[in-house]
Amino acid sequence: MQVGQSSLSAGRTRLTLLLLSIIYVFSYIDRNLIAIVLEPIKLEFGVSDTIMGAVSGLAFAVLYSAVSFPLSRMADRGTDRKNIIAVCCGLWSLATMASGVVTQFWQFVVARMTVAIGEAGGTSPSISMVSDLYPPHRRSFAISLYMLGPHIGLLAAMALGGWIAQEHGWRAVFIFFGIPGLLLALLLYVFAKDPGLGVYDTDAERNIRAQPQENFFRAVADIMKLKGFFLICMGTAVAGMVGYGYAIWAPTFMVRNYDMSLSHAGLTFGIASGVFAATGSMFSGYYCDKLSQKDCRWQLRMPAIGVLISIPFGLAFLLWPAGAFWQLGSLKIPHAIIFAAGFSFFNSWWPTLAFAAVSHLVNSFQRATSIAILSLFLTFFGAGIGPLLTGTLSDLFSVGDAGEGLKYAIAVMIALSLFSVWFYYKAIGPYQQRIASKVSDNDKTAQSYNNKADCTSDNNSSTSTT
Protein backbone atom coordinates (compact mmCIF):
# COMPACT_ATOMS: atom_id res chain seq x y z
CA MET A 1 0.00 0.00 0.00
CA GLN A 2 1.55 3.28 -1.12
CA VAL A 3 2.17 5.84 1.65
CA GLY A 4 2.48 9.56 0.92
CA GLN A 5 5.49 11.76 1.64
CA SER A 6 5.79 15.34 2.89
CA SER A 7 7.01 17.97 0.44
CA LEU A 8 8.52 20.11 3.22
CA SER A 9 12.26 20.18 3.73
CA ALA A 10 13.64 18.83 7.00
CA GLY A 11 14.58 22.36 8.05
CA ARG A 12 11.12 23.81 7.38
CA THR A 13 9.54 20.84 9.16
CA ARG A 14 11.65 21.39 12.28
CA LEU A 15 11.03 25.16 12.20
CA THR A 16 7.28 24.65 11.97
CA LEU A 17 7.30 22.18 14.87
CA LEU A 18 9.48 24.55 16.91
CA LEU A 19 7.18 27.53 16.39
CA LEU A 20 4.06 25.48 17.15
CA SER A 21 5.71 24.18 20.32
CA ILE A 22 6.78 27.63 21.53
CA ILE A 23 3.29 28.98 20.84
CA TYR A 24 1.88 26.13 22.94
CA VAL A 25 4.28 27.10 25.73
CA PHE A 26 2.81 30.61 25.81
CA SER A 27 -0.71 29.27 25.39
CA TYR A 28 -0.27 27.26 28.54
CA ILE A 29 1.43 30.14 30.35
CA ASP A 30 -1.38 32.54 29.46
CA ARG A 31 -4.02 29.98 30.42
CA ASN A 32 -2.47 29.11 33.79
CA LEU A 33 -0.91 32.34 35.03
CA ILE A 34 -3.93 32.63 37.25
CA ALA A 35 -2.57 29.72 39.33
CA ILE A 36 0.40 31.71 40.62
CA VAL A 37 -1.51 34.97 41.18
CA LEU A 38 -4.76 33.41 42.35
CA GLU A 39 -4.34 34.53 45.96
CA PRO A 40 -3.69 38.27 45.30
CA ILE A 41 -6.52 38.41 42.72
CA LYS A 42 -8.86 36.77 45.21
CA LEU A 43 -7.89 39.28 47.91
CA GLU A 44 -8.16 42.35 45.65
CA PHE A 45 -11.61 41.49 44.31
CA GLY A 46 -12.89 39.82 47.50
CA VAL A 47 -14.09 36.50 46.04
CA SER A 48 -14.06 32.94 47.43
CA ASP A 49 -12.00 29.88 46.47
CA THR A 50 -15.10 28.48 44.75
CA ILE A 51 -15.54 31.60 42.58
CA MET A 52 -11.85 31.64 41.66
CA GLY A 53 -12.05 27.94 40.80
CA ALA A 54 -15.01 28.64 38.52
CA VAL A 55 -13.31 31.54 36.74
CA SER A 56 -10.01 29.71 36.30
CA GLY A 57 -11.79 26.55 35.21
CA LEU A 58 -15.46 26.11 34.40
CA ALA A 59 -16.19 29.43 32.66
CA PHE A 60 -13.00 29.10 30.62
CA ALA A 61 -13.78 25.50 29.70
CA VAL A 62 -17.32 26.12 28.48
CA LEU A 63 -16.33 28.84 26.03
CA TYR A 64 -13.14 27.06 24.95
CA SER A 65 -15.12 23.93 24.13
CA ALA A 66 -17.88 25.77 22.27
CA VAL A 67 -15.46 27.60 19.97
CA SER A 68 -13.01 24.74 19.38
CA PHE A 69 -15.40 22.67 17.25
CA PRO A 70 -16.04 25.10 14.37
CA LEU A 71 -12.33 25.98 14.24
CA SER A 72 -11.34 22.30 14.22
CA ARG A 73 -13.88 21.57 11.52
CA MET A 74 -12.33 24.34 9.41
CA ALA A 75 -8.94 22.66 9.84
CA ASP A 76 -10.33 19.27 8.78
CA ARG A 77 -11.94 20.79 5.70
CA GLY A 78 -8.64 22.14 4.39
CA THR A 79 -8.38 25.69 5.76
CA ASP A 80 -4.70 26.54 6.24
CA ARG A 81 -4.07 25.43 9.83
CA LYS A 82 -1.11 27.78 10.17
CA ASN A 83 -3.37 30.80 9.59
CA ILE A 84 -5.97 29.58 12.10
CA ILE A 85 -3.30 29.17 14.78
CA ALA A 86 -1.61 32.51 14.05
CA VAL A 87 -4.84 34.53 14.28
CA CYS A 88 -5.93 32.75 17.46
CA CYS A 89 -2.49 33.22 19.05
CA GLY A 90 -2.68 36.96 18.46
CA LEU A 91 -6.17 37.11 19.98
CA TRP A 92 -5.39 35.25 23.19
CA SER A 93 -2.17 37.23 23.66
CA LEU A 94 -4.03 40.54 23.48
CA ALA A 95 -6.64 39.20 25.91
CA THR A 96 -3.92 38.09 28.33
CA MET A 97 -2.51 41.62 28.35
CA ALA A 98 -6.01 42.98 28.91
CA SER A 99 -6.32 40.75 32.01
CA GLY A 100 -3.64 42.89 33.62
CA VAL A 101 -5.32 46.26 33.11
CA VAL A 102 -8.88 45.55 34.28
CA THR A 103 -10.33 47.40 37.25
CA GLN A 104 -13.47 45.32 37.91
CA PHE A 105 -13.84 41.59 38.49
CA TRP A 106 -16.38 41.22 35.66
CA GLN A 107 -13.83 42.78 33.29
CA PHE A 108 -11.28 40.22 34.42
CA VAL A 109 -13.78 37.45 33.65
CA VAL A 110 -14.42 38.86 30.15
CA ALA A 111 -10.69 39.05 29.45
CA ARG A 112 -10.19 35.45 30.57
CA MET A 113 -13.09 34.31 28.39
CA THR A 114 -11.47 36.01 25.40
CA VAL A 115 -8.31 34.06 26.15
CA ALA A 116 -10.48 30.93 26.00
CA ILE A 117 -11.86 31.90 22.58
CA GLY A 118 -8.37 32.41 21.18
CA GLU A 119 -6.88 29.27 22.67
CA ALA A 120 -9.74 27.20 21.27
CA GLY A 121 -8.05 27.49 17.87
CA GLY A 122 -4.63 26.43 19.09
CA THR A 123 -4.32 22.84 20.26
CA SER A 124 -6.53 20.87 17.85
CA PRO A 125 -5.23 22.40 14.58
CA SER A 126 -1.68 22.25 15.96
CA ILE A 127 -1.74 18.54 16.83
CA SER A 128 -3.42 17.83 13.50
CA MET A 129 -0.62 19.75 11.78
CA VAL A 130 2.15 18.03 13.79
CA SER A 131 0.64 14.67 12.82
CA ASP A 132 1.18 15.61 9.18
CA LEU A 133 4.72 16.91 9.71
CA TYR A 134 6.05 13.45 10.62
CA PRO A 135 5.19 9.86 9.57
CA PRO A 136 3.14 7.61 11.90
CA HIS A 137 6.12 5.72 13.35
CA ARG A 138 7.58 9.04 14.61
CA ARG A 139 4.28 10.66 15.57
CA SER A 140 4.20 10.00 19.33
CA PHE A 141 7.66 11.49 19.82
CA ALA A 142 6.83 14.51 17.63
CA ILE A 143 3.66 15.10 19.62
CA SER A 144 5.64 14.63 22.85
CA LEU A 145 7.92 17.50 21.77
CA TYR A 146 4.87 19.66 21.07
CA MET A 147 3.39 18.60 24.42
CA LEU A 148 6.43 19.97 26.22
CA GLY A 149 4.50 23.23 26.05
CA PRO A 150 2.49 22.73 29.24
CA HIS A 151 5.54 21.65 31.21
CA ILE A 152 7.85 24.44 30.07
CA GLY A 153 4.91 26.81 30.43
CA LEU A 154 4.31 25.62 33.98
CA LEU A 155 7.97 26.19 34.82
CA ALA A 156 7.95 29.70 33.34
CA ALA A 157 4.61 30.66 34.86
CA MET A 158 5.48 29.42 38.33
CA ALA A 159 9.11 30.52 38.50
CA LEU A 160 9.25 33.76 36.50
CA GLY A 161 5.59 34.60 37.03
CA GLY A 162 5.95 34.25 40.79
CA TRP A 163 8.94 36.59 40.84
CA ILE A 164 7.20 39.21 38.67
CA ALA A 165 4.11 39.06 40.87
CA GLN A 166 6.22 39.45 43.99
CA GLU A 167 8.18 42.43 42.63
CA HIS A 168 5.66 44.23 40.41
CA GLY A 169 2.20 42.91 41.32
CA TRP A 170 -0.13 40.42 39.68
CA ARG A 171 -1.16 42.75 36.83
CA ALA A 172 2.39 42.96 35.47
CA VAL A 173 2.46 39.17 35.10
CA PHE A 174 -0.33 39.14 32.50
CA ILE A 175 1.11 42.06 30.54
CA PHE A 176 4.63 40.61 30.50
CA PHE A 177 3.58 37.18 29.21
CA GLY A 178 1.02 38.48 26.71
CA ILE A 179 3.52 40.44 24.61
CA PRO A 180 5.60 37.52 23.17
CA GLY A 181 2.49 35.85 21.75
CA LEU A 182 1.97 38.71 19.30
CA LEU A 183 5.49 38.25 17.92
CA LEU A 184 5.08 34.47 17.74
CA ALA A 185 1.83 34.81 15.78
CA LEU A 186 3.66 36.93 13.20
CA LEU A 187 6.62 34.53 13.00
CA LEU A 188 4.32 31.55 12.47
CA TYR A 189 2.40 33.33 9.72
CA VAL A 190 5.57 34.37 7.87
CA PHE A 191 7.95 31.43 8.29
CA ALA A 192 5.94 28.27 9.02
CA LYS A 193 4.11 26.15 6.45
CA ASP A 194 1.15 23.81 6.67
CA PRO A 195 2.35 20.48 5.17
CA GLY A 196 -1.12 19.70 3.86
CA LEU A 197 -3.85 17.46 5.20
CA GLY A 198 -3.04 13.74 5.33
CA VAL A 199 0.32 13.87 3.53
CA TYR A 200 1.30 10.49 5.01
CA ASP A 201 -2.02 8.85 4.14
CA THR A 202 -2.03 5.61 2.21
CA ASP A 203 -3.66 5.49 -1.22
CA ALA A 204 -6.74 3.96 0.38
CA GLU A 205 -6.96 6.73 2.97
CA ARG A 206 -6.63 9.37 0.26
CA ASN A 207 -9.49 7.74 -1.61
CA ILE A 208 -11.61 7.92 1.54
CA ARG A 209 -10.69 11.57 2.05
CA ALA A 210 -11.60 12.37 -1.57
CA GLN A 211 -15.20 11.29 -1.01
CA PRO A 212 -17.81 13.92 -0.01
CA GLN A 213 -17.49 14.74 3.70
CA GLU A 214 -20.41 14.37 6.07
CA ASN A 215 -22.00 17.22 7.99
CA PHE A 216 -20.56 18.20 11.35
CA PHE A 217 -22.95 16.27 13.58
CA ARG A 218 -22.65 13.07 11.57
CA ALA A 219 -18.86 13.42 11.59
CA VAL A 220 -18.83 13.76 15.39
CA ALA A 221 -21.17 10.77 15.74
CA ASP A 222 -18.93 8.63 13.52
CA ILE A 223 -15.86 9.53 15.58
CA MET A 224 -17.61 8.80 18.87
CA LYS A 225 -18.55 5.33 17.57
CA LEU A 226 -14.93 4.37 16.88
CA LYS A 227 -13.78 1.50 19.07
CA GLY A 228 -11.98 2.73 22.16
CA PHE A 229 -12.44 6.44 21.46
CA PHE A 230 -14.96 7.18 24.21
CA LEU A 231 -12.94 5.24 26.80
CA ILE A 232 -9.80 7.21 25.87
CA CYS A 233 -11.80 10.42 26.26
CA MET A 234 -13.03 9.38 29.70
CA GLY A 235 -9.56 8.34 30.87
CA THR A 236 -8.21 11.68 29.69
CA ALA A 237 -11.10 13.58 31.27
CA VAL A 238 -10.44 12.13 34.73
CA ALA A 239 -6.66 12.51 34.41
CA GLY A 240 -7.17 16.10 33.28
CA MET A 241 -9.55 16.85 36.13
CA VAL A 242 -6.90 15.70 38.60
CA GLY A 243 -4.01 17.34 36.73
CA TYR A 244 -5.63 20.75 36.32
CA GLY A 245 -6.90 20.79 39.89
CA TYR A 246 -3.42 19.93 41.12
CA ALA A 247 -1.59 22.43 38.88
CA ILE A 248 -3.90 25.34 39.70
CA TRP A 249 -3.99 24.81 43.46
CA ALA A 250 -0.59 23.25 44.36
CA PRO A 251 1.28 26.60 44.48
CA THR A 252 -1.42 28.03 46.74
CA PHE A 253 -1.14 24.89 48.90
CA MET A 254 2.59 25.53 49.29
CA VAL A 255 1.97 29.17 50.24
CA ARG A 256 -0.58 28.15 52.87
CA ASN A 257 1.05 24.95 54.15
CA TYR A 258 4.70 26.03 54.18
CA ASP A 259 4.20 29.77 54.74
CA MET A 260 6.16 30.47 51.55
CA SER A 261 6.08 33.63 49.45
CA LEU A 262 4.55 33.62 45.97
CA SER A 263 7.94 33.81 44.27
CA HIS A 264 9.46 31.10 46.49
CA ALA A 265 6.54 28.72 45.99
CA GLY A 266 6.40 29.42 42.26
CA LEU A 267 10.13 28.88 41.75
CA THR A 268 10.28 25.69 43.82
CA PHE A 269 7.15 24.09 42.40
CA GLY A 270 7.78 25.33 38.86
CA ILE A 271 11.29 23.90 38.60
CA ALA A 272 10.42 20.57 40.20
CA SER A 273 7.24 20.06 38.22
CA GLY A 274 8.23 21.67 34.92
CA VAL A 275 11.61 19.97 34.47
CA PHE A 276 10.45 16.50 35.47
CA ALA A 277 7.19 16.72 33.53
CA ALA A 278 9.06 17.75 30.37
CA THR A 279 11.45 14.83 30.85
CA GLY A 280 8.55 12.45 31.39
CA SER A 281 6.75 13.66 28.29
CA MET A 282 9.77 13.07 26.03
CA PHE A 283 10.52 9.74 27.72
CA SER A 284 6.99 8.45 27.19
CA GLY A 285 6.76 9.62 23.57
CA TYR A 286 10.12 8.13 22.58
CA TYR A 287 9.61 4.73 24.19
CA CYS A 288 5.96 4.50 23.19
CA ASP A 289 6.99 4.86 19.52
CA LYS A 290 9.50 2.04 20.03
CA LEU A 291 7.13 -0.29 21.88
CA SER A 292 4.05 0.45 19.75
CA GLN A 293 5.81 -0.61 16.55
CA LYS A 294 5.83 -4.12 18.03
CA ASP A 295 2.51 -3.99 19.88
CA CYS A 296 0.02 -1.11 19.45
CA ARG A 297 -1.44 -1.79 22.91
CA TRP A 298 1.50 0.05 24.48
CA GLN A 299 -0.07 3.29 23.20
CA LEU A 300 -2.60 2.97 26.05
CA ARG A 301 -0.71 0.74 28.45
CA MET A 302 1.87 3.46 29.07
CA PRO A 303 -0.57 6.24 30.09
CA ALA A 304 -2.38 3.81 32.41
CA ILE A 305 0.92 2.79 34.03
CA GLY A 306 2.10 6.39 34.32
CA VAL A 307 -1.08 7.60 36.04
CA LEU A 308 -1.05 4.62 38.43
CA ILE A 309 2.55 5.18 39.51
CA SER A 310 1.96 8.93 39.95
CA ILE A 311 -0.72 8.50 42.64
CA PRO A 312 1.52 7.60 45.63
CA PHE A 313 3.95 10.37 44.65
CA GLY A 314 1.15 12.94 44.64
CA LEU A 315 -0.23 11.82 48.00
CA ALA A 316 3.25 11.84 49.55
CA PHE A 317 3.79 15.42 48.35
CA LEU A 318 0.65 16.53 50.15
CA LEU A 319 0.93 14.50 53.34
CA TRP A 320 4.67 14.81 54.04
CA PRO A 321 5.40 16.71 57.29
CA ALA A 322 5.35 20.45 56.65
CA GLY A 323 8.34 21.12 58.89
CA ALA A 324 10.81 19.02 56.86
CA PHE A 325 13.09 21.36 54.87
CA TRP A 326 16.49 21.59 53.26
CA GLN A 327 18.28 24.87 53.76
CA LEU A 328 19.67 26.28 50.49
CA GLY A 329 21.28 29.57 51.41
CA SER A 330 18.44 31.74 52.60
CA LEU A 331 15.83 29.50 50.95
CA LYS A 332 14.02 26.60 52.54
CA ILE A 333 13.22 23.74 50.15
CA PRO A 334 10.51 21.34 51.42
CA HIS A 335 11.48 17.66 51.37
CA ALA A 336 8.08 16.97 49.82
CA ILE A 337 9.12 18.65 46.56
CA ILE A 338 10.85 15.37 45.58
CA PHE A 339 7.45 13.72 45.47
CA ALA A 340 6.02 16.59 43.42
CA ALA A 341 8.80 15.94 40.89
CA GLY A 342 7.96 12.22 40.80
CA PHE A 343 4.26 12.94 40.36
CA SER A 344 5.01 15.30 37.48
CA PHE A 345 7.31 12.82 35.70
CA PHE A 346 4.80 9.97 35.62
CA ASN A 347 1.65 12.08 35.30
CA SER A 348 3.04 13.71 32.15
CA TRP A 349 2.74 10.49 30.13
CA TRP A 350 -0.98 10.52 29.51
CA PRO A 351 -1.43 13.82 27.58
CA THR A 352 1.14 12.97 24.91
CA LEU A 353 0.07 9.36 24.48
CA ALA A 354 -3.70 9.95 24.56
CA PHE A 355 -3.54 12.58 21.81
CA ALA A 356 -1.18 10.38 19.78
CA ALA A 357 -3.53 7.41 20.23
CA VAL A 358 -6.44 9.41 18.85
CA SER A 359 -4.35 10.59 15.89
CA HIS A 360 -3.71 6.92 15.03
CA LEU A 361 -7.31 5.93 15.62
CA VAL A 362 -8.97 8.24 13.07
CA ASN A 363 -8.55 9.17 9.42
CA SER A 364 -6.63 12.35 8.58
CA PHE A 365 -9.77 14.32 7.66
CA GLN A 366 -11.20 13.52 11.11
CA ARG A 367 -8.06 14.35 13.07
CA ALA A 368 -8.64 17.95 14.15
CA THR A 369 -12.29 17.26 14.98
CA SER A 370 -11.40 14.15 17.00
CA ILE A 371 -8.73 16.09 18.88
CA ALA A 372 -11.30 18.82 19.55
CA ILE A 373 -13.64 16.19 21.02
CA LEU A 374 -10.84 14.82 23.20
CA SER A 375 -9.94 18.39 24.16
CA LEU A 376 -13.60 18.99 25.06
CA PHE A 377 -13.46 16.16 27.59
CA LEU A 378 -10.07 17.34 28.84
CA THR A 379 -11.05 21.01 29.03
CA PHE A 380 -14.54 20.61 30.49
CA PHE A 381 -13.63 18.03 33.11
CA GLY A 382 -10.01 19.12 33.47
CA ALA A 383 -9.89 22.91 33.25
CA GLY A 384 -13.59 23.22 34.06
CA ILE A 385 -14.44 20.77 36.81
CA GLY A 386 -10.95 20.13 38.24
CA PRO A 387 -10.10 23.55 39.74
CA LEU A 388 -13.74 24.22 40.67
CA LEU A 389 -14.17 20.89 42.47
CA THR A 390 -10.81 21.29 44.21
CA GLY A 391 -11.74 24.80 45.37
CA THR A 392 -15.17 23.63 46.55
CA LEU A 393 -13.67 20.72 48.49
CA SER A 394 -11.13 23.12 49.99
CA ASP A 395 -13.91 25.40 51.25
CA LEU A 396 -15.75 22.33 52.57
CA PHE A 397 -12.74 20.86 54.39
CA SER A 398 -11.41 24.18 55.72
CA VAL A 399 -12.55 24.38 59.33
CA GLY A 400 -10.34 27.13 60.70
CA ASP A 401 -7.30 26.06 58.64
CA ALA A 402 -7.38 26.83 54.91
CA GLY A 403 -4.05 25.05 54.36
CA GLU A 404 -5.31 21.75 55.80
CA GLY A 405 -8.56 21.99 53.85
CA LEU A 406 -6.74 22.50 50.55
CA LYS A 407 -4.33 19.65 51.33
CA TYR A 408 -7.12 17.10 51.72
CA ALA A 409 -9.04 18.52 48.77
CA ILE A 410 -6.09 17.90 46.42
CA ALA A 411 -5.52 14.46 48.00
CA VAL A 412 -9.10 13.44 47.21
CA MET A 413 -8.64 14.61 43.62
CA ILE A 414 -5.42 12.61 43.19
CA ALA A 415 -7.13 9.47 44.50
CA LEU A 416 -9.71 9.84 41.72
CA SER A 417 -6.89 9.08 39.24
CA LEU A 418 -7.68 5.39 39.75
CA PHE A 419 -10.72 5.89 37.51
CA SER A 420 -8.44 7.19 34.75
CA VAL A 421 -6.29 4.06 35.02
CA TRP A 422 -9.40 1.91 34.70
CA PHE A 423 -10.69 3.75 31.60
CA TYR A 424 -7.33 3.55 29.81
CA TYR A 425 -7.04 -0.13 30.69
CA LYS A 426 -10.53 -0.88 29.36
CA ALA A 427 -9.72 1.01 26.13
CA ILE A 428 -6.72 -1.19 25.25
CA GLY A 429 -8.72 -4.05 23.70
CA PRO A 430 -11.08 -1.90 21.59
CA TYR A 431 -8.15 0.28 20.49
CA GLN A 432 -6.22 -2.77 19.30
CA GLN A 433 -9.27 -3.98 17.36
CA ARG A 434 -9.77 -0.59 15.71
CA ILE A 435 -6.11 -0.32 14.64
CA ALA A 436 -6.22 -3.86 13.27
CA SER A 437 -9.44 -3.22 11.36
CA LYS A 438 -8.41 0.22 10.06
CA VAL A 439 -6.03 -1.18 7.44
CA SER A 440 -8.61 -3.75 6.40
CA ASP A 441 -11.33 -1.11 6.12
CA ASN A 442 -9.04 1.12 4.06
CA ASP A 443 -8.20 -1.77 1.75
CA LYS A 444 -11.87 -2.57 1.23
CA THR A 445 -12.69 1.08 0.56
CA ALA A 446 -9.83 1.35 -1.89
CA GLN A 447 -10.98 -1.79 -3.70
CA SER A 448 -14.54 -0.48 -3.86
CA TYR A 449 -13.26 2.87 -5.15
CA ASN A 450 -11.17 1.13 -7.81
CA ASN A 451 -14.09 -1.10 -8.83
CA LYS A 452 -16.29 1.97 -9.27
CA ALA A 453 -13.57 3.60 -11.33
CA ASP A 454 -13.30 0.46 -13.48
CA CYS A 455 -17.06 0.38 -13.98
CA THR A 456 -17.06 4.05 -14.99
CA SER A 457 -14.21 3.38 -17.39
CA ASP A 458 -16.01 0.36 -18.86
CA ASN A 459 -19.23 2.33 -19.27
CA ASN A 460 -17.38 5.16 -21.01
CA SER A 461 -15.71 2.65 -23.32
CA SER A 462 -19.04 1.05 -24.14
CA THR A 463 -20.57 4.44 -24.86
CA SER A 464 -17.70 5.34 -27.15
CA THR A 465 -17.98 2.03 -28.99
CA THR A 466 -21.70 2.47 -29.43
pLDDT tens-digit series, residues 144-166: 889 888 778 877 777 788 788 88
Instruction: Find, among 307, 248, 268, the residue nearest to 39 by Cα.
Output: 248
Alpha helices, H only, 8-147: 10-36, 38-45, 49-53, 59-76, 81-99, 105-119, 123-133, 139-146
What pLDDT shows up at residue 441?
Answer: 56
Is 61 a residue whose pLDDT tops 50? Answer: yes
Helices (H), 120-197: 123-133, 139-146, 148-168, 170-191
- The pTM assigned to this predicted structure is 0.76
Report the C-alpha gap between 466 and 463 in whole angstroms: 5
CA 204 to mean position of chain CA atoms:
30
The model's pLDDT over 308-357, given as tens digits with 9 standing for 90+, comes to: 999 999 999 999 887 777 877 777 788 899 999 999 999 999 998 999 99
Q: Which domains are seen in the chain, by residue range?
A: 10-201+215-446 (1.20.1250.20)
User: DSSP character for 8?
Assistant: S
Would you list the DSSP string of 219-249? HHHHHHTSTTHHHHHHHHHHHHHHHHHHHHH
Number of residues assigned to the chain: 466
Tens-place pLDDT, residues 68-86 = 888 988 888 878 999 999 9
pLDDT per residue as tens digits for the range 173-229? 999 999 999 999 999 999 998 888 767 665 555 555 555 566 778 888 888 988 899
Cβ proximity of 235 and 224 under 8 Å: no
Decide which of 462 and 287 is more confident.
287
pLDDT tens column, 442-457: 555 444 434 444 433 3
Positive or negative torsion for Cα 439, 441, 447, 450: negative
pLDDT, residue 354, reads: 94
